[in-house]
Structure 1
Amino acid sequence: MRPLYDPFGRPLSLPHPPQRIVSLVPSQTELLYDLGLRDEVAGITKFCIHPDEWFRGKTRVGGTKTVHADRVAALQPDLVLANKEENVREQVEALAQDYATWVSDIETLDDALDMIRSIGALVHRAREAEIIARKIRGRFDRLEPVQGPKKRAGYLIWKDPYMSVGHDTFIHHMLGYLGVENAFADRGRYPEVSIEDLQGCDVILLSSEPYPFAEKHVEELLQAVPGAAVALVDGELFSWYGSRLLHTPPYFRNLRTAIAGID
């Protein structure tokens, strides 16, 4: 395991298992649960919806981008877990002045597996983390290669304006495992896209998060982009980079079958 550092580049090592963890990242909160932690997790965000018992029972310290420092302080954490993209740098650095803090940076599946192992080391659950990471790696490795030309896919995460994903995102990397070509791979991060931009897509995938796309939006896009098939997809299985990745390969396998049937 490579050395771990806090946001200021200081070595981060916890000689004793942390007992007051605050997680500011939904997918990492779920990972903590799957690593076997229970009372050790003291605080979560309002977006940490898995597991449900934690969502209903744990102290919420705000949103991923609106962390209330006073609520964190009241919990007196011995470890804060954050993420470079999902949390606000200034808020995280302010917490790191007072508490042991680790920030993940995820763009690829390998990054996600490194994160799982790193958190496992920090919370003294290295063996459990290694088991999860190996299971995820094995399930992705067993995804069969896509035969024939890849469908050109537009993955939408927002409406008014429509927003998609560029080449430097975790979702883009997951689209590769799904076996489709990201229609907006030439753009960065989360670009705004127009109906005209979507005209060249074979398929348009509407994510369940962060915008709650529904069947009415499918109908709207079928009319606006008549040359494309449109489908609702589970956004958590494209964007959550913790232990939920265990469920992504079988979901992708089924979704591939549906996409392959598109003329």
Structure 2
Amino acid sequence: MKKYWKMGLSALLAIGLLAACNGEETKNDKPASEQQATPQVDEATFPITMTDVTGKDITLEAPPERIISLIPSNTEILFGLGLNDEIVGVNDYDDYPTEAANKEKVGSTEFNIEQIIALTPDIVFAHESGIASLDGALEQLEAAGVKVYVVANADDFNETYTTIEQLGRATGKLSEAEKMIVNMKAKVKEVETKLEDVEPKKVFVETSDEPLIYTPGKNTFMQEMLDLIHAENIAADTSGWFIIDAEQIIAKNPDVIVVTYNYEPNILTKIPQRAGFDTINAVKNKAIVQVDENMTSRQGPRLADGLEELAKAVYPEVFE
């Protein structure tokens, strides 16, 4: 009989799962365009020993030739590093880049251990968001000789840069990782420069529909992104991801409503029809905008583009 183990998917999935993410203080107060990844070196040398977020040392004798990724953010980074040929297994939710669709799927929130072992990976990249359910699986995989590196959950751009550097180092693609980080920082700086003199707007970010309307508060990745574009988060008086009442949204009177999900196809026309929402400035001015939830939440190379998309949603007049 096949054996499965469970793993949470972090903020990258829809609605209520978002609430599990980003519960800690942001660890770096510098602008994202000025933050640094871990110290750079010219080349990643092998054999190499790296310590993952669980404190476990992983030793690789050579760059891995067979890789499995268990979360979409890791997958996007690995493809971005040019590891298409090396990736042999991915998460069921992996939808970017398009090449991910051609890889063998090993599960979503449940993973088939026997399938993973059968793919004979040199390394499996897991994620801290599923740490509570990793213990039994780690033992089984390690007993089968499978190396698992658990990537830390990133709370800000700086930690995302560090994740990219770590995956680049572990796969022998350090120079590619450094180029990816440089490109991301350049995009962030470009967005910041365009918004230097902008008049801040009050923003409400909605990550799930009624009856349980979730929103990100302070100490979340979204809060950092709003800070970078000089937007005022109306939910910043509460920490983490939480359920907000419609009455609170009405009272806060946001200038812009940003929707980060697409499972409700008519959401942009549905929101203005909510009781009392006709008094909100965002509704009056038709400033209800939908952004790509993956680009604005996955801890990978597209986050900088997600920042630009968020900026365009809040300040379309600046980007016209």
Same fold (TM over 0.5): yes
TM-score by length of 1: 0.86
Matched, 1:9 2:55: yes
Letter in 2 for 1:177: L
- Per-residue CA distance 1:82-122 (angstroms, 9 max, x = gap): 2223xx22433334331232222211010111111111001
Query: 1:212 deviation in Å?
Result: 2.0
What residue in structure 2 maps to residue 79 of structure 1?
A: 123
Matched AA of 2:225: M
In structure 1, stretches of 5+ residues that fail to align are none
* Contact 2:128–2:150 (8 Å) recurs in 1: no
Whether 1:54 aligns to 2:96 is no
CA distances 1:118-151 after superposition (whole Å, capped 9, x unpaired): 1100111000000000110122122224435422
Contact 1:207 1:232 (C-alpha < 8 Å) held by counterparts: yes
- Residue pairs, 1:153-192, within 5 angstroms: 153-159=203-209, 160-192=211-243
Other-structure match for 2:260: 207
* Structure 2 residue ranges without an equivalent (≥5): 1-37, 40-48, 283-287
- Structure 1 residue 27, shift from structure 2 partner: 2.0
Whole-angstrom distance in 2 between the partners of 1:177 and 1:103:
25
Separation in 1 of the partners of 2:222 and 2:216? 7
Give deviations 1:45-79, integer Å, cap 9, x for gaps.
Answer: 11110122222x2111111x322223222223221
CA contact (8 A) 2:77 2:301 kept: yes
Corresponding residue SS for 1:43: strand
**TM-aligned CA deviation for residue 17 of structure 1:** 0.7
Aligned-pair CA distance for 1:228: 3.4
Quote the Cα distance in structure 1 between the aligned partners of 2:218 and 2:154: 13
Structure number with the bigger relative contact order (C-alpha 8 A, sep ≥ 6) is 2
Between 1:171-180 and 1:45-54, the stretch displaced more is 171-180
Q: Please list the CA deviations of residues 170-216 of structure 1 after superposition, one character each: whole Å capped at 9, or x if unmatched.
A: 222222223311221222322011211211122211113xx5243x2
SS of the counterpart of 1:254? helix
**Alignment-derived partner of residue 84 in structure 2:** 38
Identity, in percent, stands at 23
Cα distance change, pair 115–61 in 1 and its aligned pair in 2 (3 A):
same
Correspondence for 1:132? 180
**Structure of greater Rg:** 2
Amino acid at match of 1:153: V
Using the alignment, how far apart are the partners of 2:183 and 2:294 within structure 1?
18
TM-score, with length taken from structure 2: 0.72
Give the structure 1 partner of residue 7 of structure 2: none
Mapped to 1, the partners of 2:136 and 2:317 lie a distance apart of 46
| Aligned-pair Cα RMSD in Å | 2.3
Aligned counterparts, 1:233-252, within 5 A: 233-252=291-310
Greater alpha carbon shift after TM alignment, 197-206 vs 166-175: 166-175
Q: In structure 2, which of residues 136, 149, 157 is the aligned counterpart of residue 94 of structure 1?
A: 136
Count of residues paired in the alignment: 254
